[in-house]
């Protein structure tokens, strides 16, 4: 364009701007960023559907480290073991799948939780049996702490599960949430294996504590899904999911009451 000629100049006297509907929707969606989509939560939960050998190996390694820490009465080593144990994945996936009515996936997650705990228990029991042939093993203070079956620990586990699933769903301190979950499961499970190997008749306390914590964590996680309002989008699926969630909470509640009664009897 040659600016020397006035006829080629475009003059704008009163510009009017129209905001695109796309930008309006973007501004509206920006206000909804705090709410995590159900699809995103499900996608995250689905990553824990398959049994992972690497995670099983981590559980085994973490159990051995925790075993050393318990026998050395060294809480720092025990905490280091907690950092490795990936217990939060299947518990988180169980709560999400239950909340959206995916019963098959929830059952599979339960089997993963059971497998991880079994690995930890067996590794610690077998390792203790081997160590006992060469060393004079004694029950340290850290081990004795995991033999207390106070019902208060159930309430703490419920609150811990509630906080962990909320923080994990919101991507807030996921690592800390994982350590908190592992702290409630790994040391008691390892202690149970130790006690079965050394003092079998006193192992029941550690076993009860392990079940208390696991069931409490799952119950707290399910309560967290209610707080976050994690439900399917379709009405029919939503109704089915709510019924499944209610039944699971009732079942866990009954288990908690039974474990509390048993814990009191062994206190």
Confidence band (pLDDT; 50, 70, 90) for 230?
Answer: confident
Quickly tell me which residue has 């009664």 as its tokens: 261
Instruction: For residues 116 and 61, give the distance between their C-alpha atoms in angstroms, rounded to a whole number.
Output: 12
Q: Which residues contact residue 197 at a Cβ distance below 8 angstroms, ignoring those fewer than 6 apart? A: 124, 125, 126, 128, 129, 132
Instruction: For residues 110 and 106, give the distance between their C-alpha atoms in angstroms, rounded to a whole number.
Output: 6
Q: Is 17 left (phi over 0), alpha (psi -120 to 50) or beta?
A: beta
Does the structure show a pLDDT above 90 at 215?
Answer: yes
Mean pLDDT across the stretch 199-210? 90
Does the structure show a pLDDT above 50 at 34?
Answer: no
Q: How far is CA 123 from the centre of its chain?
A: 22
Confidence band (pLDDT; 50, 70, 90) for 127?
Answer: very high
Confidence at residue 15, expressed as pLDDT on a 0 to 100 scale: 52
Mean pLDDT across the stretch 223-237? 83
Q: Which residues contact residue 5 at a Cβ distance below 8 angstroms, ignoring those fewer than 6 apart? A: none
Confidence band (pLDDT; 50, 70, 90) for 19?
Answer: very low
Instruction: For residues 112 and 56, give the distance between their C-alpha atoms in angstroms, rounded to a whole number.
Output: 10
Mean pLDDT of the chain: 83
Does the structure show a pLDDT above 80 at 27?
Answer: no
Confidence at residue 4, expressed as pLDDT on a 0 to 100 scale: 56
31 or 57, higher pLDDT = 57
Residue 201: HSE in the Cβ half-sphere, 13 Å Cα cutoff: 0
Does the structure show a pLDDT above 70 at 229?
Answer: yes
DSSP letters along 33-102, please? TTSPPHHHHHHHHHTTSS--HHHHHHHHHHHHHHHHHHHTT-HHHHHHHHHH---HHHHHHHHHHHHTT-
121 or 165, higher pLDDT = 121
Does the structure show a pLDDT above 80 at 37?
Answer: no
Instruction: For residues 59 and 205, give the distance between their C-alpha atoms in angstroms, rounded to a whole number.
Output: 22
Confidence band (pLDDT; 50, 70, 90) for 212?
Answer: very high
Confidence at residue 9, expressed as pLDDT on a 0 to 100 scale: 55
Q: Is 50 exposed, middle or buried (0-12, 13-18, 19+ CB in 10 A)?
A: exposed
Residue-wise burial string across 176-215, b where 16 or more C-beta atoms lie within 10 A, e elsewhere: ebbbbbbbbbbbbbbbbbbbbbbeeeebbbbbbbbbbbbb
Confidence band (pLDDT; 50, 70, 90) for 3?
Answer: low
Confidence band (pLDDT; 50, 70, 90) for 135?
Answer: confident
Task: Give the tens place of pLDDT for each residue, 49-95.
Answer: 888 899 999 999 999 999 999 999 999 999 999 888 888 889 989 99
Length of the chain equals: 267
Confidence band (pLDDT; 50, 70, 90) for 32?
Answer: very low
Confidence at residue 250, expressed as pLDDT on a 0 to 100 scale: 93
Does the structure show a pLDDT above 60 at 211?
Answer: yes
Does the structure show a pLDDT above 60 at 8?
Answer: no
Per-residue DSSP letter, 136: -
Per residue, what are the HEC states of 141-198? HHHHHCCCCCCHHHHHHHHHHHHHHHHHHCCCCHHHHHHHHHHHHHHHHHHHHHHHHH
76 or 41, higher pLDDT = 76
Percent of the chain with pLDDT strictly greater than 90: 42
Work out the angle between the directed axes of helices 152-169 and 235-266 (0-180°, nearest 10): 150
Instruction: For residues 104 and 13, give the distance between their C-alpha atoms in angstroms, rounded to a whole number.
Output: 67
């Amino acid at each position: 364009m040659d600016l020397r000629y006035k006829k080629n100049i475009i003059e704008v006297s009163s510009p009017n701007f129209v905001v695109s509907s796309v930008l309006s929707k973007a501004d509206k969606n920006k206000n909804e960023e705090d709410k995590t989509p159900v699809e995103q939560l499900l996608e995250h939960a689905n990553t824990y559907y398959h049994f992972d050998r690497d995670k099983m190996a981590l559980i085994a390694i973490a159990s051995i480290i925790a075993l050393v820490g318990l026998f050395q009465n060294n809480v720092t080593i025990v905490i280091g073991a907690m950092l490795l144990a990936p217990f939060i994945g299947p518990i988180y996936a169980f709560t999400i799948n239950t909340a959206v009515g995916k019963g098959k996936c929830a059952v599979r997650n339960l089997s993963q939780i059971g497998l991880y705990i079994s690995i930890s228990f067996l590794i610690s029991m077998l390792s203790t049996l081997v160590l006992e042939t060469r060393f004079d093993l004694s029950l340290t203070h850290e081990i004795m702490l995991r033999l207390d079956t106070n019902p208060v620990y159930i309430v703490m586990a419920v609150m811990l599960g509630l906080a962990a699933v909320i923080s994990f769903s919101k991507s807030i301190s996921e690592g800390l949430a994982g350590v908190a979950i592992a702290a409630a499961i790994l040391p008691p499970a390892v202690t149970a294996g130790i006690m079965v190997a050394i003092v079998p008749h006193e192992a029941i306390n550690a076993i009860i504590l392990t079940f208390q914590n696991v069931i409490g964590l799952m119950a707290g996680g399910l309560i967290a899904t209610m707080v976050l309002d994690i439900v399917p989008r379709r009405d029919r699926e939503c109704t089915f999911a709510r019924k499944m969630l209610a039944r699971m909470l009732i079942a866990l509640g009954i288990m908690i009451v039974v474990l509390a009664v048993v814990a009191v009897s062994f206190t």
